[in-house]
Structure 1
Amino acid sequence: MHAVCYQEGFIVPANNSSAPNILPLQLHPAREALYHELHARPFPVIASPVRISHLALLLTDEDRERDFQHLRHLCIRYGVNPPADHETSFHQRFGEFEVRWERHLEFVTYTFLRPGTNSLPFSHPTLSMLPTDWLQEIPGQLVVALHLEVVSPEAEQLDREALAECFEGQRLVSGRLLEGSATLWSAFRLHGDGAGRILLQNHGLNDNQTGRLILRVLELETYRLMALLGAQPARDLAPELGRLDQRLADMITHLSDTEGLEEERQLLRQLTTMAAQIERYRANTMSRFAATQAYYQLVMKRLEELKELDAGPNFTLAAFFSRRLTPAASTCESVGSRLEDLARRIERAGDLIRTRVDLKLEEQNRGLLASMNRRSKVQLRMQETVEGLSIAAISYYGISLIRYLLGALEPLGIDINKDVGTAIAVPFVVGTVWWLTHRIKKIILQDEQTETASSESQDPR
């Protein structure tokens, strides 16, 4: 039977490529991907009993394509249709078991499922059915390795001895989930095979409900461990932030005692080095801390969706996760806040030192300008003195030339008293020399002002 949809009173096939296009509009290139996003990771339909092995691996950018090709190699090996390019999820049956593959932002998950048996839980995990060489070559760093088994409602409930054997005698945490429809047991620790173990007792869930419960439990364990990835970097960084904080306090205290410009420049260089170190810490940890907070919120959300019954005085899953996971998330948040606060304080201290340095430089510049002003005044007086002497010297030579000229007129029969003529020429010669000197000076000043105005108009600033 083909899926159908309704269109203007007519029933047409939902996925019929020959159906008329009723939206002759320009479509966004990501439109189909947006519709597909809500259905990319559907809830699985899983019947009880079932045995599941779950892996989550951190991937680098280089590992992503290698991981996708590695999955395709497994499909080719079992004669299964491989996933299409750019797919973020894949679900297919591989003979006796099923494979669910999902790519997330920074990690990838593999979930292997097969119907359970009546043997002891965890005695034959699904992971043992995978080719050993293929498992050894999976790209990425393994973070989560988990075996999860669901016991059917018809099976007898395991007693304390049987549970101890299943979990190698480790202390267990249990919870009644989905308002009592299922019971969970787990130590939330690694076991002898290097993986964690979770046992679910189904008390009456159908296949859809069982699939949703399994998916939430797997996400709970995956996000729990991913959230804890930021705890150790936060613990390692906290003492270093304490030392940097003390260094900054000492530098600010020493700042009030500094007087010389060179000392303040040395403090500024130290602050610059410290700021670079803080930026390196931020680049290495802030994304991890932000991811920790996001994963922590997802864990808390999944715990709410499990609808665990209150166990009274007994330890519940919610209490266990809150007691163990919340401090780690709070530590990451606290260290991240300290890192940001230290960066802001270093920036303020640097601004303060730069302000002090600028003020002292301005004071020195003011002194230099005052000294230059005094020198300019002295040079101006000297220039005026030289200018006066130049006028006198030029006038003297001009008057001497006139006197020689008047003396040369006597042989020509022109009787002119040289002394009187020279005396009469003195004011004219001195006035003419003075006028020419000031005229030349005015022309030079006008040319300088024109060049200055032209250069200022061409300055892009």
Structure 2
Amino acid sequence: MVEHSIDLLESTALNNANRHGLNSGHGLNGHGEISGPVPSVEPLFQFFEAREALYNELHTRPFPVIETPASISQLAILHEESGQNLEFDHLSQLSHRYAVNPPAPGASCFYQNFGGFELRWERHTEFSSYTFIHKLDAPMPFGKTALSLLPPEWLKAMPGKVISCLHVELQAMPPEPQSADDLRQCFEGHRLISSSVEGGRAQLWTSYRIHSDGFGRILLQNRDLNACQTGRLVRRLLEIETYRMMVLMAFPLAKRIAPEVQGMERDLAAIIQQITDIEGLDDERRLLGELSTLAARVEQMITDTNYRFSASEAYFALVESRLDELREAGVNGLQTVGEFLSRRLVPAYRTAETVKSSLMDLSKRIERASELIRTRVNVTIESQNRYLLQSMDRRSKLQLRMQQAVEGLSVAVITYHLVGLVKHLADSAESLGWIEHAALWVGASVPVCGAVVVLGLMRLKKRISQTNEIMKEKQRSIQ
């Protein structure tokens, strides 16, 4: 009861502001905010630059205030390249035609009363919505829609492609309850879906079919909802229609790529089966190359489809949220909107979700298989490296023995030459009479020369070793 009174006061304030605000320049604007001069106050703090924009984000895209009866039509149009400028130009043409203010450049929404109808334009991430509200009391539902007041040539020139279009007829609840047979003619004979919403304060009828004019239809019978509550209910219904179509955009994509995903899964299974039959490094490299090619295909497909599948998930969550807000209850055994969408929309969404999960799972499996083959390659390379190290160790030992043999020969050769020099000296000294028995001196010099050569080589090795240690210390200090 309190909510009803508050909404009623809000509705009255908005209506009074819309009636008197045009002449006085004060009152409430389309967002429910007070317009007119506001005294400026010197700020005491240094605020974040985008604080005001972030704060006002809560007040963007407000719900419409709709009195019963009314006719509402909405078009959801997908964006195209340079679509924003085209939309501004298109809305400006309609505004100039009816002599009203056009939308501000760069605006994401535009709410304007054109006299006979109200236009609400909102630009979203992937689409723009055009909602036309016409207050009328038509004797026959959908006999005259809100679009009938729009210039046909303006409607035909709308930029972009329509993804969703819906007529909502808002009427007072009739004194006598109506059956599906009574209202089937309003929906061109289609089978009807109906539910009691908002705790039994309204009842909706629809067929979720495309009718002869290309639009869907919803008949909303209002029992005791005020204008604000009615506007929120209508907005939920319009969002459900638009978001469910955005959810379904992923379904054709999922069906199209599903066979290719299954083919890549078979290719991966065939590669994994060949892992056990690997005979050498060439087979490992070949399988690793095939896995790399398959991984590139999968990652490219994930890149091409990830946005669409992620957007579908977000839109599906919005549809579920709006359905919960309807607070539906069954009527006369008819199928409710929530039951119908659960039966038709959920399987399509699950299909897209399954394909997305299959792609992600396939990517992980390829990564695991690649890691397995790389491990085998590393083991093979390590085995080869171990064999090479063993061969190098054997060669090093052989080289050491050869070096030791060469050193022994070097000692003998150098000793031989030194002894030869001693022999020449001894012969010369014997000829001069300085010594006798030169051969004894030569024989005695042999062990002395050998000892000198050995000590010299040992000192040379030690000096080389010390030099190497000094160089290593310098390298460690630099690092």
1:329 maps to which residue? 349
Percent identity for Structure 1 against Structure 2: 45
Residue 344 of structure 2 aligns to which amino acid in structure 1?
R
Q: 1:104 aligns with which of 105, 114, 124?
A: 124
Do the aligned partners of residues 429 and 69 (structure 1) sit closer, same or farther apart at CA in structure 2, a change above 3 Å counting?
farther
1:213 maps to which residue? 233
The Cα of 1:163 is off from its aligned counterpart by 4.4
The Cα of 1:228 is off from its aligned counterpart by 1.2
Do the aligned partners of residues 408 and 321 (structure 1) sit closer, same or farther apart at CA in structure 2, a change above 3 Å counting?
same
2:415 maps to which residue? 395
Do the aligned partners of residues 414 and 175 (structure 1) sit closer, same or farther apart at CA in structure 2, a change above 3 Å counting?
same
The Cα of 1:410 is off from its aligned counterpart by 4.4
Which segment is superposed worse, 377-386 or 173-182?
A: 173-182
Do the aligned partners of residues 364 and 139 (structure 1) sit closer, same or farther apart at CA in structure 2, a change above 3 Å counting?
farther
2:446 is the counterpart of 1:426: yes
The Cα of 1:344 is off from its aligned counterpart by 1.9
2:100 is the counterpart of 1:80: yes
* Matches of 1:312 and 1:171, distance apart in 2: 14
Secondary structure in 2 matching 1:322? helix
CA contact (8 A) 2:72 2:134 kept: yes
* Matches of 1:300 and 1:415, distance apart in 2: 123
* Matches of 1:76 and 1:399, distance apart in 2: 122
Do the aligned partners of residues 297 and 196 (structure 1) sit closer, same or farther apart at CA in structure 2, a change above 3 Å counting?
same
1:384 maps to which residue? 404
The Cα of 1:372 is off from its aligned counterpart by 0.8
* Matches of 1:419 and 1:77, distance apart in 2: 136
2:376 is the counterpart of 1:343: no
Secondary structure in 1 matching 2:48? coil
1:243 maps to which residue? 263
CA contact (8 A) 1:116 1:149 kept: no
1:50 maps to which residue? 70
Do the aligned partners of residues 450 and 43 (structure 1) sit closer, same or farther apart at CA in structure 2, a change above 3 Å counting?
same
Please give the TM-score of this superposition, normalised by the length of structure 1.
Answer: 0.86
Q: 5+ residue gaps in structure 1?
A: 4-12
The Cα of 1:78 is off from its aligned counterpart by 4.3
* Per-residue deviation, residues 354-394 of structure 1 (Å, max 9, x unmatched): 11111111111100100111011111111111121122112
CA contact (8 A) 1:89 1:101 kept: yes
* Per-residue deviation, residues 309-337 of structure 1 (Å, max 9, x unmatched): 32253222221111111212222232222
Do the aligned partners of residues 458 and 92 (structure 1) sit closer, same or farther apart at CA in structure 2, a change above 3 Å counting?
farther
CA contact (8 A) 2:79 2:128 kept: yes
Secondary structure in 1 matching 2:111? strand
* Matches of 2:434 and 2:259, distance apart in 1: 111
* Matches of 1:76 and 1:404, distance apart in 2: 127
CA contact (8 A) 2:194 2:330 kept: no
Secondary structure in 2 matching 1:258? coil
* Matches of 2:146 and 2:37, distance apart in 1: 36
The Cα of 1:162 is off from its aligned counterpart by 7.8
2:333 maps to which residue? 313
* Matches of 1:118 and 1:412, distance apart in 2: 152
CA contact (8 A) 1:40 1:88 kept: no
Residue 407 of structure 1 aligns to which amino acid in structure 2?
D
2:283 maps to which residue? 263
CA contact (8 A) 1:226 1:295 kept: yes
2:213 is the counterpart of 1:193: yes
Residue 353 of structure 2 aligns to which amino acid in structure 1?
E
The Cα of 1:66 is off from its aligned counterpart by 4.9
* Matches of 2:371 and 2:143, distance apart in 1: 66
2:456 is the counterpart of 1:436: yes
The Cα of 1:398 is off from its aligned counterpart by 1.8
* Matches of 1:117 and 1:155, distance apart in 2: 16
Which segment is superposed worse, 193-202 or 264-273?
A: 193-202
Do the aligned partners of residues 285 and 405 (structure 1) sit closer, same or farther apart at CA in structure 2, a change above 3 Å counting?
same
Do the aligned partners of residues 307 and 412 (structure 1) sit closer, same or farther apart at CA in structure 2, a change above 3 Å counting?
same
Secondary structure in 1 matching 2:395? helix
Q: 5+ residue gaps in structure 2?
A: 1-23, 28-34
Which segment is superposed worse, 210-219 or 330-339?
A: 330-339
* Matches of 2:57 and 2:291, distance apart in 1: 48
* Matches of 2:187 and 2:414, distance apart in 1: 118
CA contact (8 A) 2:194 2:334 kept: no
Please give the TM-score of this superposition, normalised by the length of structure 2.
Answer: 0.83
Secondary structure in 2 matching 1:99? strand
CA contact (8 A) 1:157 1:201 kept: no
* Matches of 1:83 and 1:319, distance apart in 2: 40
Secondary structure in 2 matching 1:38? helix
2:294 maps to which residue? 274
The Cα of 1:131 is off from its aligned counterpart by 4.8
CA root-mean-square deviation = 3.2
Which segment is superposed worse, 136-145 or 430-439?
A: 136-145
Do the aligned partners of residues 391 and 135 (structure 1) sit closer, same or farther apart at CA in structure 2, a change above 3 Å counting?
farther
Do the aligned partners of residues 274 and 407 (structure 1) sit closer, same or farther apart at CA in structure 2, a change above 3 Å counting?
same
Secondary structure in 2 matching 1:199? strand
2:40 is the counterpart of 1:18: yes
Which segment is superposed worse, 146-155 or 90-99?
A: 146-155
2:434 is the counterpart of 1:414: yes
